[in-house]
Amino acid sequence: MMGMVRHSIELGSTHSGLMLRTMAAEGHPTAVATLLAAGAHPDRPEVSGDTALHSACGSPCGCRVELVAALLEAGATADARNYAGRTPSMLAASLPGPHEPTVAVLRALDRAGADMQVVDAKGRGLLAMAAAAGNLPAVNWLLRRGLDPSLPDADGRTPLDYARAHSDGAVASALEAAVGERSRKRAAVAAVTAVAAGASTATSHAGSTTTTTIIPASAAAPSGSQAEARADSGACSPHPASGELPARCVVWGEKLGVGGFAVVFAGRCQGRSVVIKTPLLPASPARVHALRSEHAVLRALPRHERVVGLEGWVTRGDGAHGMVISRHDRSLGSMLGRPRTPLSAAERFAIAQQAAEGLAFLHSHGVVHLDFRPDNILLTDDMHVKICDFGNSVVLSEAQAQAQAQALALVVPDERPSGVIRYMAPELRAVQPYGTKADVWAWGVTAFELATWRRPSLEFVPFDAAKEAADPAGPMRALDPGLADLIAACTAEDPDERPSMEQVVERMGALQLKECPRPVVAA
């Protein structure tokens, strides 16, 4: 075994990191110590985001205090989260059965600064996880540590519910006793408070005059959970200057997807469902810059109903950071072109109109989106538009914004902006000066696809407006004439001939037919 360890060290950091996680999971402290002494980094993650500390704490063989202590002493982050949003303490608490070493491991993590009040994306804490696993020693230690046995998760389930669901009588009995003890203490505090409030008067007599002095009742000390709630109230708002959120206010969940520059995770922030965008690893300067730019654009904008909501920026204890925004699980791109669409003709028209309103709002604040397309149009449950993904966006200077009001394009690019060719205006493809009219083109292409309910199979082929308009049997001819004329104007080759987004909103509002033709289902 040690021969394999030495060989992995010779192969370099990637192999030694893999070997470190393997040896940690299998519970070999000598091998772990050798790898750490050779420079293997304890926080180097694998593809799932697990570090060596995750590997140790999540394995019955590796969950040993001497091994965990060695990793922590070498600099392992006690509260690191993997890509499923799990910390080492969560994995240790979830080990099945009465696993005695779990308590020593949790105690070591606690001393190293791990948050014992940590919860996952569903609001489940360590006590609920230990209860579900039937780990009685961990349950008893966490109760002594002060965790609330009656605290529900996002589904309303308490640790006692988890113990009962897994038919563990001993764990359920321990939790029932803890819940009863807490109830008795709260009842006693309430009784003392009531007596103090109603009967704490002292009366003194002076001659025939009676003076009554009211002795104020002392306020009862808040319970642990109440004190935490008070301490946290208001503390999770972004700092007005930086937009930073305290790390404890954001719960990281599972990985949802990967884009060109970022990885997207599910999460919760102050009880709200959110997504967290982090730079795609390896976090190159370009990727970090794109995400920081998107954050800066959203922070500079006032909130608007047609733009995705920004919660703030968060930095985890293990150094991972990301932008936190409101979560909407559907995009127009994920629905576009489906033959059996749930969207009515009126809903598709409304989406086009609301998207125009969102772009008009952005332009009124000097923001050019530059990557407007169906994939970046999120839809709420009631089919309202939220424009997202501002990584390519440009904020115009005051002089440029004034020039845009006179239809003058003043942004001179050094290179062609990144994006999808089909929605890229001719001036962008030709690396010519551009302005807000580039977004008008993208809206015109998107409106055409919404109206015809036709998504191209080749997005790297530019949209040919002239060809679509000239095709006598094409879908453009089947559109309402007013809408067809507007789409044609928005996709004019010359940006000066395109309307502004404010004018698009006005023309959409003036159309008599507030519908797009129903999609034709192929036989």
Between residues 367 and 187, which one has the greater pLDDT?
Answer: 367
Q: Give per-residue pLDDT as tens, 353-385.
A: 999 999 999 999 999 999 999 999 999 999 999
Note whether 141 and 110 are within 8 A (CB): no
What is the band of 113 on the pLDDT scale with cuts at 50, 70, 90?
confident
Q: Where in the chain is the domain with CATH 1.25.40.20?
A: 1-116, 119-185
Task: Please compute the mean of the pLDDT values over residues 423-441 and round it to a whole number.
Answer: 92
Assigned CATH class of 330-510? mainly alpha
Note whether 314 and 244 are within 8 A (CB): yes
Cis peptide upstream of residue 42 (ω within 30 degrees of 0): no
Which one, of 124, 123, 85, 125, lies nearest residue 106 by Cα? 125
Q: How far apart, in whole angstroms, are the C-alpha atoms of residue 25 and residue 11?
A: 21
Q: How far apart, in whole angstroms, are the C-alpha atoms of residue 316 and residue 10?
A: 32
HSE-up of residue 360 (Cα within 13 Å, Cβ side) = 17
Query: How many angstroms separate the Cα of 513 from the Cα of each of 159, 337, 369?
Result: 56, 22, 28
Which one, of 163, 158, 165, 105, lies nearest residue 136 by Cα? 163
Q: Where in the chain is the domain with CATH 1.10.510.10?
A: 330-510
- Whether residue 467 has pLDDT greater than 80: no
- Mean residue pLDDT across the chain: 79
Q: Residue 128: its pLDDT value, please? A: 94
Domain 1-116, CATH homologous superfamily name and number = Ankyrin repeat-containing domain (1.25.40.20)
What is the band of 7 on the pLDDT scale with cuts at 50, 70, 90?
very low
Is 277 annotated as a binding-site member?
A: yes
Strand arrangement, sheet containing 244-245: 244-245, 310-315, 321-326, 272-279, 262-269, 250-258
Assigned CATH class of 119-185? mainly alpha
| Tokens matching residue 233 | 């109230």
Task: Please compute the mean of the pLDDT values over residues 418-433 and round it to a whole number.
Answer: 87
User: Under CATH, which number does the domain 248-326 receive?
Assistant: 3.30.200.20
Which residues are paired to 488 by β-bridges? none
What is the band of 523 on the pLDDT scale with cuts at 50, 70, 90?
very low
Dihedral sign for Cα atoms in the order 5, 11, 13, 18: negative
HSE-up of residue 246 (Cα within 13 Å, Cβ side) = 10
* 8-state DSSP, 113: T
- Whether residue 306 has pLDDT greater than 50: yes
Q: Where in the chain is the domain with CATH 3.30.200.20?
A: 248-326
| Tokens matching residue 62 | 């590796």
* 230 Cβ contact partners less than 8 Å away, ≥ 6 residues apart: 222
* 235 Cβ contact partners less than 8 Å away, ≥ 6 residues apart: 246, 249
Task: Please compute the mean of the pLDDT values over residues 458-464 and round it to a whole number.
Answer: 69
Q: Rounded to the nearest 10 degrees, how much is the dihedral formed by the CA atoms of 171, 173, 178, 182?
A: 140
DSSP, collapsed to helix, strand or coil, labels residue 12 as: coil
What is the band of 417 on the pLDDT scale with cuts at 50, 70, 90?
low
Between residues 150 and 319, which one has the greater pLDDT?
Answer: 150
> What pTM value is reported for the model?
0.61
Q: Rounded to the nearest 10 degrees, how much is the dihedral formed by the CA atoms of 14, 263, 418, 505?
A: 180
Q: How far apart, in whole angstroms, are the C-alpha atoms of residue 78 and residue 116?
A: 11
| Tokens matching residue 384 | 């309202």
Task: Please compute the mean of the pLDDT values over residues 411-436 and round it to a whole number.
Answer: 80
Between residues 461 and 435, which one has the greater pLDDT?
Answer: 435
Helix or strand holding residue 401 (H, E): helix 398-405
